[in-house]
Every structure is written in C-alpha cells, then in structure tokens.
Amino acid sequence: MRRHPSMAAPEVVKEDYRADLYSALQSEERPGSFAMTGSFKMLHTPGLELPELGPISLPLAPQQAEMMARLCSQAPFGRGEVTVYDSSIRKCLQMSPDEFKLAGPQWDAQIRQLANGAVKQGLGLPKHVKVVPQLYKQLLYEPGCFFTPHRDTEKNDGMFATLVVVLPSAHSGGELIIRHAGKDVVFDSSEETLHNVHYSAFFADCEHEIRPVTEGYRLALIYNLIAQNTAQILAPADNRSAVQNVLDAIQAWGKDADGPEKLVMPLEHQYCTKSLSFQTLKGSDIGTIDIVLQAAIAASGPRFHVYLGMLKKEEVGGGYGDDMDDMEVQDFSLELLHIIAPELGAVAFDRLPIDEEFEVLPEGALEGHEWDDEQIEEATGNEGASMERWYHHAALLLWPHANHWKIACTNSLSTAMKDTGSLAERIEGSPDSEERPDLLLALNALCGAGAKLDLSQTKALAALLVKFGDASMAQILLTKLPVSIAAQVLFPLGGRFGWTALAAAATGVFERACTPFGLADCFNLLLQLAPAIQAPGGIAPNETNRALEGVSVTSGGARSGETCTTGSSGPEGTMAGNDAEGSCGTNAEQGPADDDELERARLCARIIPLLVAKICPPPAAVPARGFYYSDPPLFSLRDTATASAFVRVLERFGADTWRPAAAALVKNQVSSALGSVPGLLSHLVGDNGLDQSEAPGGGSPKAVALARSLADALAPALIAERDPPSVVAHFFATPRLHDVETTLAPALKELAQWLGTPARLETPSFVALSGGCVKALEAKTGTRPAAPRSWALPAACACKCGECRQLVQFCLDPVRTVLQLCVAKPVKKHVQASISKCRLPVHIVGQSFNGGVNVPLICHKNGSQGAADEQALQGSGTKIAEYERDMGALAELRALGGVALQERRTNEPVVANNQGAQTGGKHVHKRARVVIDLGDD
C-alpha cells in the first residue's frame, strides 16, 4: 500500500519527454504493420492431391517431396512486362493451381476466415474492407533453392498483398525476410512445429527475399489477397515519424537520472487477463503497440523494454454511512499484474508497484475510472463501516534498458540472480562480448538490492563480482548487506579489489558490527582482517607496523596521542603493552610487507579508533525519560567468548591502543553483571584457548592483565561496607555458576594479590568469602575416595581352544568384569562345560546360552555386577585426582586467610551442606555447595 494522494508528497517536475512519448504513441497514421506472421492448428487439412501421385501426406515425407519435384517446373519471375527464368536470381520449383488439387472441404473457408481475421487486423485494414484470398501457386524449395530480394507485381485488379502459407514440411533455412521503411520482419518457418500451419502476409510493394534452404523441403501455398468494398489503394502505414519520436523520447528518458523507472499507459480497449496478448489487441491499440514494437527493434535506437499487463487499483477506507460517497479513502495501492513480453507470450513478471503520480502516462489517465467491484462492510459497535473497491485495466509498460535489472530485482530477486548467472555463463571467456555491459548493469542492480539477499544469493553474487565486477559495486553491496552476511563476503571482495578501494565500506561493516551483543563477532572479524604476524615472537613486518603506528583515541576519558609502542611497561595489574606479542614495534631485519598485508594494516589502523570510540563514547546530556524508558545495553565482557576475543585483540594489536575501551568494558561488566566476573576471571587465567606457557598461572600476559583489571574493579564491590553480605551471598546462591574450585578460588587468589596487606585481608567480605570456600572444600574432601578394586581372579584351564583361552585371560584381567562370546550353540556348551570342569570364577548370565551366533554368550565374574563395576573402576582414578586437586586448593585458600581467617572461623558460624558425606560407604558428592550465615554484622 502507498500513501493516499491527499497526503503530503514532494513536488514532481514533469519532463517534456513524457508528453513527447505520449504524443508519438497517439500519432500513428493508422493501425497495423506492413507484414504479419502467425500459425494455426491444422483443424482442416488442405487435402493436397496430385493426379500423378494421388494424396500427399502432411507433414511432407521426403520420398513424396522428391517425386513432386520431378513433376514441378522451374519458377520464373517478372521483370516489368517480361517473364524471366534465371536460376541465379530465383531457384525454385512451382505448380500452377490446375496441376494440383486442394480437396479438403473446409480448407478454403479456413483461409478466407484467416484473411478477414488475423491478416486483416495485422495489416491494419479498415473494417469495411473484404479480403478475398486467391490461390496463385504452389512452391517447392529444395536444398539450395532461394529467391533474391524483389517486389511482387500486382497480378489482379485490387491485389494489395501476398499470403504465404507454409504447409507442414521439415526443412532448415528458407527464411522469408520482408523489408519496408528501414525495418525487417523475419518469418522462419523452419523453427516452428510440424503440427501447425504457419503463414505470413505482407503488402505487395514490400521488398522481400527467401534465404537458401539448407536441408529438407519447404512446401508453400501462395495466395494473392484482393481487396473489395473500397476504392482506396491499400498500402503499408508509414509510421516512421511516430517511431522516431518514440526513440527520441526514450533517448531523453534514459539520460534523466531522476526520471521514473518505468511508464505505464492504459490501453484504449478493455481486455481480461486471459485474453490479453500482443496478438489479440483491438482497434487503436494495434497501432499504438505497433509503433512501440517498431521502435523497439530499430537498430539505431536506444534499447528499451515493452510489456503488456493488467493494472489493478485498490482503495480501502471507512466511514459512518451506508453509501460509498460517505466513505473516506484511507489507503490505496496501484500495481501491474500478469506482465507479458511480446516474444514470450508467457508471464515475464508477476507484479510491479506503480506510482500513479510519477509513472502513469498521461497524467490523470486513471481519474474517473469505473470500479469493477465495491464492497461495504456495515458498522459494528463503536467501529464505523469499512469499504474496499478495485478495478483492472490493461496497460502498456515501458522502461529504458538501463532500468531493466533494477526493476527485475524488484519483481523477483531469485529470478534476477538466475538470469544474471545465465548471462555470466554466456559471456565468460569472451571479454569483448556485446552482453558484458548488460551484465554490469545486472550486477550493479543486484548490489543495490543487497539488503534483501539471503546468504547463498550473496555468496553467488560475490563470486560474480570477483569475476566481472568492480570495486564500486562491491562497496554498494557491503553497504547494503546485513552485518552477519557482509562478514561472509568481506574477505573475498577485499582480496579481489583491494582493501584501500573498499576502506569506506569495510569500515562501515565494522561500525555496524560493533554492538553490545555482537562485540565478540566484531573482534573476531577484526582479527581475520589483521595482517599476518611473520616474525618470531609476534612482531609484524616494518611496513605493516608503520601503518598501525600512531593510532590515537580521544574519547570517554582516553588520552590523546596514545600510540602503539614496543616494550613499554606499566604498573603491575595494568594493561600496558610490555610484551613482544601483539606489539606495534618495528623490526629492521624484516622486509617490506606485500600490498595486501600493508592495506590490511592501514585499514585496521582506521577501524580501531572508531571501535574504541564507539565502545566508550564521551558522556552526553541525559535525555528526558518517558514512562517506559529503559537504559540502552552497555558494551561489556558479557561472556567468555567476548572476553577471549578481546584478549586476542589485545595480543594482536597491543594494549595501549585499546586502553580506553578496556576500561569501559571492565567497568560496564562489573556494574551490569557482577556475578559473571569471577567466571570471566577463571576463564582468562585458566583455559581460554590461548598459549598458556608464557605466564605463571596458565594465562597469556594479556589475559592475566585483563583479569587483573577485572579484579581491580570487582574488589571494591566485594569489600564495600555498606552491604557486604549481599555481595558475598550472591556467589554462594548460584553454585553452578560460581563453584568453589574453578571459579571462586581463583578469584580469591587474584583478590588477595590485589589487597596485598594483612589488614586489607581482614575485611569482613573477604574473610566471609574465603571462609565459605574453605568450609565448602573441607566438606567435599572429608573422606578420601577408596582405592580401586582389582578384578583379577585366579584361573586355569586344560583346554587350549580359542574360547577357553579367552575365558582365562578374562579372569586374569584386573579391570574387565563382562565377557561376550559370539559363538554357535555347540561352542556355548563347550564353554559351559569348561567353566564347570575347571571351576572358573565366572558365570553365564540370563538366557544368553540359548540361540546361535547372533545371540552372544555373556559371562560375568563372580561377585561383580557386570558393566557397572567396570565403570566404577574406570571413574575411581578421576575421583582420586579430583580429591588431590581439591586438597591443594584447600591448602592455598587456608594460606590466603592466615590468622584472620582462623579467628573468623571460630566466631562466625558457617553451615555446610556436605554433599560429600558417606552414603552407603561410597563417595557420591560431585560439587561443593555452600550456605553462609553472616549473622548481624
């Protein structure tokens, strides 16, 4: 739906070419063309008979054609009043009407109907004229036959045209080419079906020729067309002036960058959707469309597209009356449906929106049009009545070729992509192909429609751009695409066209990707863009580093002039770039980077300040808050993926450049999600997917630095005296997120390093947190897991068959408790006998003794529960290792608290929910959970 005309709309300047185009289309001398072609189903056969051969079958058989040729004579041609035989000008065989017979009872009537119907309309004859077809000759063209360009002479009074009826006969070549007023019509019956009759009619003074037949036989009946009921000399309409005016208007339209994409002109007559075609036009519509089609095929004119379609206008509204005049139009739409092309006949486009104020010719053409249907729905309750009305009307549709692909994308992107792919296949490997400019138009239009492309379409389009496109198209595409899809094609396009050429578009992708919830993807994309680190230790080559030097940020409290440095140091616990990894220094031993690496580095240097500024924008005035106001989401290290990606960014580009952003991310993370900070700390100093061999504690230098920054921000919140119990209790209330051994204990060690002095370690919150962790670990490690049992049992057997040897080996195995033997029933009996005779410490389970090979014999060791004991034995080693690890963590936590912790434990009761208690003599707890009673302090 579009806005109602009564709504405000920008002023539109009407171009002169629109009026010129409409005037040209209305200025035809008369409707009709100098030539027309068509075909019809052979409902009534001609009944062709030769006295010597009898009935001739159709389609024409080659054997009968050869016999007919022997009966024919050489066809002459007229030169003034003289009849001439010259095979260099005309080579053809003929029969006069007295040498053959058309015995079909309805054939003559069918030809008369054709002459006074389709032929009369196609040639634009007046309605009162009666056309009489008069059989002149039968012509047979063998391979090599032809007729050079010539004009027909008038054989009878009133003759004005010639009708050529090609009977079903297989052949190649033999095209009839008709020329008049600088235009050609080609009638190629060889490409048509053999099951129809094909015909062409043209005015007698039109030059025409028959191209050589290359294969088969072309059999045709020639009729002279006689006009009756008229004294007028009938000749082809001369619409050359109108055609040229159309071409001039189209030329001017194509130069107007702000002009309409397309123009629609309602036709004079009414048509239904099923009957609308270029062959079924009536009255003045024939002449109008003929002028357009003549202009469209003009060799020297601008290229444009011609279609027919059904305009549909629809209005909806409402009011408080019972009559349509009481209704107010609230919305309306105008679109063209069932759009057909002249060469296809089938639907070329399903629907296109039409701007009534800008794209309808002439202006106001649809005003006062009668509605096909009007419906009013009566008012109900407090709601008024509603109305809906619409109409359909056939229309001519035009647009310059420069707009074709943009309009095609509006109709169907998938079809436009398919057609573009086909076009690319045709011209691939042909750099001078005439269709290459058309392909560039198609690619440009598809790039402009990038916002509507899905991922597969985008990848296909990017592949075409890499082969045939240019940097400007790639920029348009990256600007239009959603961020998630743009990231998928950014690097193929950058590699093809260069990062310098795509700098603006690529920067825009990163700015759009930098959102509070997409920060991890943004960082990972930046790491993909970063040039490769080629030097040992992570120092990039000279040229790359120089591109990254001097990156400064002045935003949100950042220091202006901060640059990437080599080996700069900072106080412990800060994010100074004091390590070689990821620094932006230079190395004199490194050679210059190649162009791609250098362009990547320069683009990174352009993008990084923009990202930092977006993450930590300067403080702005607080806007007035409405009732439903909510603060926008903050940039933060909201999950481990974001934290890991940020660490890799710090390691790759250096810490100083990102200092303002790091401060903002840490501050926002602590303030918005206090409970997730310990998990991030554990992730950064533990398993974060990086090389953990370079720093104590397992984390990389930048990961440890970021963890310290988080600890710096977290510690004041933990030791805030205003409400210490709530902060500490938060961790113990979510044991799955903040388990002691992997989250809280590492966080406490970082906090202890930050607090430093014994006095600060005695703060109530720290003591409560560390005391709770100690209690939880003590409860978990209360009982050491039992040593694993060995299931090796003494066994010996005198039988040395394979199954008995397996039994003995199974008994001696310290781990296995279940044995399966896929053997036949006789072997099962032997195994059972061996177990009994040798007193082996195993027994057969269930009904496995019965059955054949498909039912395995299952044996358990005596005293075991089968597979359950195997699993318990395999897990005992893990339990013991976990116990040893917990004991080590407990010792570290006890050392952190010192005397203050011991005193606190005697005065502050801590109740532990000991899930590690003995249950049936087995150690069943999996994770310590703690509930702390902090009392009144």
**SS3 letters across 890-906:** HHHHHHHHHHHHHHHHH
Tally of helices (H runs) and strands (E runs) in the chain: 28, 32
**If pLDDT is split at 50, 70 and 90, which confidence band does 232 have?**
low
Q: Which has the minimum average pLDDT: 132-146, 271-285, 622-636, 664-678?
A: 622-636
For 847-883, what is each residue's pLDDT tens digit? 767 777 788 888 988 888 888 888 877 777 788 888 8
Contacts with 383 (C-beta within 8 Å, 6 or more apart), sequence order: none
Q: What is the pLDDT of residue 887?
A: 85
Q: Whose CA is closest to 191, among 169, 172, 216?
A: 172
Across residues 114-136, what is the average pLDDT? 88
In DSSP terms, 791 is beta-bridged to none
Encode 348-365: b = buried (16+ Cβ within 10 Å), e = exposed: bbebbebebebbbbeeeb
Q: What is the pLDDT of residue 651?
A: 86
Contacts with 487 (C-beta within 8 Å, 6 or more apart), sequence order: 509, 513, 521, 525
Chain centroid to Cα 456, Å, comes to: 4
In DSSP terms, 896 is beta-bridged to none
Identify the sign of the CA torsion 737, 739, 742, 746: positive
Q: What is the pLDDT of residue 143?
A: 95
Q: How many degrees, rounded to 5, is the angle at CA 222 between CA 216 and CA 227?
A: 155
Residue pair 814/792 in contact by the 8 Å Cβ criterion: yes
Q: What pTM, to 2 d.p., does this model score?
A: 0.55
Calpha distance 818→843 (Å, rounded)? 10
CB atoms within 10 A of CB 536: 8
For 187-213, what is each residue's pLDDT tens digit? 998 887 788 899 999 988 889 999 999
* pLDDT surpassing 50 at residue 258: yes
Share of the chain above pLDDT 90, in %: 30
- C-alpha distances in Å from residue 678, one per residue of 54, 404, 711, 776: 104, 59, 8, 17
Share of the chain above pLDDT 70, in %: 74
Across residues 754-765, what is the average pLDDT? 67
**If pLDDT is split at 50, 70 and 90, which confidence band does 825 have?**
confident
Q: Which residue has the higher pLDDT, 488 or 579?
A: 488
Q: What is the pLDDT of residue 783?
A: 83
Calpha distance 697→895 (Å, rounded)? 17
- Average pLDDT across the chain, whole number: 77
* pLDDT surpassing 60 at residue 593: no
Chain centroid to Cα 845, Å, comes to: 60
Altogether, the residues listed in the chain come to a count of 937
For 52-110, what is each residue's pLDDT tens digit? 999 999 999 999 999 999 999 999 887 766 778 888 999 999 999 999 999 999 999 99
For 150-164, what is each residue's pLDDT tens digit? 888 777 788 889 999
Calpha distance 686→32 (Å, rounded)? 86
- Structure-block tokens of residue 288: 């109008």
CATH 3.80.30.20 assigned to domain 32-228? The reply is: no
* pLDDT surpassing 90 at residue 750: no
Q: What is the pLDDT of residue 537?
A: 38
Q: Which has the minimum average pLDDT: 344-358, 553-567, 738-752?
A: 553-567
Calpha distance 350→280 (Å, rounded)? 20
Q: Which residue has the higher pLDDT, 418 or 916?
A: 418
Q: Which has the minimum average pLDDT: 243-257, 332-346, 487-501, 807-821?
A: 332-346
**If pLDDT is split at 50, 70 and 90, which confidence band does 638 have?**
confident
Q: What is the pLDDT of residue 127?
A: 81
Phi then psi for residue 777, to 5 deg, are -70, -35
DSSP of 31-73: S--SEEEEEEE-SS---EEETTTEE--SSPPHHHHHHHHHH-E
Tell me the pairing of strands 82-84 and 77-79. antiparallel
In DSSP terms, 911 is beta-bridged to 931
CB atoms within 10 A of CB 803: 16
For 454-499, what is each residue's pLDDT tens digit? 999 999 999 999 999 999 999 999 999 999 999 999 999 999 999 9
Quick check: bond before 633 cis, omega within 30? Answer: no
Q: What is the CB-side half-sphere exposure of residue 177 using CA atoms within 13 A?
A: 15
* pLDDT surpassing 50 at residue 823: yes
For 639-656, what is each residue's pLDDT tens digit? 888 888 888 888 888 888
* pLDDT surpassing 70 at residue 797: yes
Calpha distance 477→460 (Å, rounded)? 12
Phi then psi for residue 633, to 5 deg, are -65, 145
Residue pair 152/78 in contact by the 8 Å Cβ criterion: no
* pLDDT surpassing 70 at residue 579: no
**If pLDDT is split at 50, 70 and 90, which confidence band does 721 have?**
very low
Calpha distance 677→666 (Å, rounded)? 9
Calpha distance 32→161 (Å, rounded)? 13
**If pLDDT is split at 50, 70 and 90, which confidence band does 298 have?**
confident
Across residues 612-621, what is the average pLDDT? 76
Q: Whose CA is closest to 735, among 788, 791, 679?
A: 679
Q: What is the pLDDT of residue 675?
A: 56
Q: Whose CA is closest to 291, among 347, 250, 254, 260?
A: 250
Calpha distance 787→789 (Å, rounded)? 7
Across residues 644-671, what is the average pLDDT? 82
Residue pair 402/320 in contact by the 8 Å Cβ criterion: no
Q: What is the pLDDT of residue 711?
A: 66
Contacts with 2 (C-beta within 8 Å, 6 or more apart), sequence order: 331, 332, 333, 334, 353, 355
Across residues 427-435, what is the average pLDDT? 80
